[in-house]
Structure 1
Amino acid sequence: MNIEDFDFDLPEELIAQTPLKDRTASRLLVLNRDNGEIQHRRFPDIKQFLKPGDCLVLNDTRVLPARLYGIKEDTGAKVEILLLHQQEGDAWEVLAKPAKKVKTGSVLSFGDGTLKAKCIGTKEHGGRVLEFFYDGIFYEVLDQLGEMPLPPYIKEQLPEKERYQTVYAKEEGSAAAPTAGLHFTTELLQEIKEMGVEIAFITLHVGLGTFRPVSVENIHEHKMHAEFYHMSQHTAEKLSRIRKDNGRIISVGTTSTRTLETIVRDNEGEFREASGWTDIFIYPPYEFKAVDGLITNFHLPKSTLIMLVSALTDRETILDAYNEAVRERYRFFSFGDAMLIL
């Protein structure tokens, strides 16, 4: 398939720049994956489409305030650092800007010396490996000095860091939020549980590759960046029971979907406790083995995310739904409205 097959016209003014004050105030486009029927609802109406025995799978990753601004100690030159993932101890793989100023041996200072780092290596893709030095707890220092690494299409400042976290975020490590989960409040999740719908948690630490555009015309040639995932024994047993009882497994977000499909693919069709790195690339045609439905936001044209969503039904049905969302003035991307595909 060609990258142009997943293009659509999106007016720039529909790209949501700030989150709504009320997490549940978003609109909800409900798409029947079998016949393409569309309903326009509000997000709390999602309860009407769930039933006892279903299970929502949530990604409990927590976004790091991973963007740091500092200087080179020897020259005072300004540098910007974006943490990608922890390697060992206090060593992290990062992106540096401008990268040419950060060479092996360079010492960087952040927050007037509250946090320091030494470049101890380089990566093939232009990344750097920094070893950090600080007093106290690293994540507390990072919370004090770092900024949220918002997607490049969001130009506005985010006054409250927690608005780019899900209410159930727990496991530190993401470079971006699993944004489909931003629509849930603790109260809404409790109401859903009281209906007899189960809640399960997995972890996938979202990498910057989620924002990286597809640079090849033939999508079969695209290589996904690997991201770390974990599923506990408790979640594996819960999902196995749900499946045995013919309940529906509904993933909240493309990150949950990719994790579930990876685990089932690699474990002979079963849910099992597992940790590892996944670079699974889902696009049509694809036979889903773990997921029966999806709650997701609206994604970038020609992105791997719209390709994954298209695989749940077909490309034409998804593009029709997206064009309908544009006509109805839905808000798009990370802080935008939601879509339920069942």
Structure 2
Amino acid sequence: MFLNLTHLQVQYPGRSRAAVQDVSLGLRAGDIGVLIGPSGCGKTTLLRAVAGLEAVSGGEIQLAGHTVSSPQTHVPAEKRRIGMVFQDYALFPHLDVDRNVAFGIHDWPAAERKARVAEVLEWVGLSDAHKRYPHELSGGQQQRVALARALAPRPQLLLLDEPFSNLDVDLRERLAHEVRGILKAAGATALFVTHDQLEAFAIGDMIGVMHEGALHQWEDAYSLYHRPATRFVAEFIGHGVFAPAKLVDVDGEVAVQTALGDLTDVAECPLPSAYPQGECDVLLRADDIVHDDDAPVKAEIVRKAFRGSEFLYTLRLASGQTVQAHVPSHHDHRLGEWIGIRTQVDHVVTFKREA
């Protein structure tokens, strides 16, 4: 792994709980990693530790095979060849785009510096804006200038701390796709912090979900969504509910009994003996519930959210249990209407029953 964190801990003086607790992860060269989680979960502290801006109290950070942080070792930030892009872009208002991008390579020979600036501005699609000033650029353009400036010195690792947080919602996801393309074209290895799932899914090869300083899971987006490792990851990623269920043995095969019927594609489920009396909670995503007028199970629409191509319906069964369903938007049913639903679950994920 190009970036390797092993049992990393960051403890601030006077605080009972470590800001980063026993975090281990690996990032391959050329990959983009994303840290996601609620405010205060430790993701920015972890990023700052990788940058060399925070000392570590336990564990180790290795970069390109060399230890850069441990309780005994601290390579200064300026010696790590790491580029950073911040929330506010930190562009110099009195310098044009060319000089902003060239700031970190001012000591390069003039011809080499000019060629490098032209190269990174072409990557970010701003070759025709090189003489403009930051106030003459849109927020998205300023963000790309900041990215070009960070890439110019050829850093071995790029760190991005919520770089789209100042942009409007519609621009964020589109720019995340653009930035991913730029980073891939540059062959850059990057670690990115965000609290926005759509940004994380759009840009990340690997995504880590953090909560209260701990890393709950470090995998690709598909695995996080369909095979969450903890109850927190299951709740934090995507839409869904936990439904009471029971694991039973049917002719030597495990089945999951729910109010919506039995779920049988349970190859990855624990054995019934893993839970007391087999009682557990099963994760039902909104895309696991299918609207089907002919289904025997009916549910009342208690909430609906229009999402353009679909509605997100919150549905209440006769038992009082609620589920959610993505339904194509031409199925525009009224609040209070009862509709037929059935399950179509490809990945059955169960957790210990919560009181």
TM-score bin, normalised by smaller chain: under 0.3
Calculate the TM-score normalised by the size of structure 2. 0.22
Of structures 1 and 2, the one with the larger relative CO (CA 8 A, separation 6+) is 1
Calculate the TM-score normalised by the size of structure 1. 0.23
The structure richer in strand per residue is 2
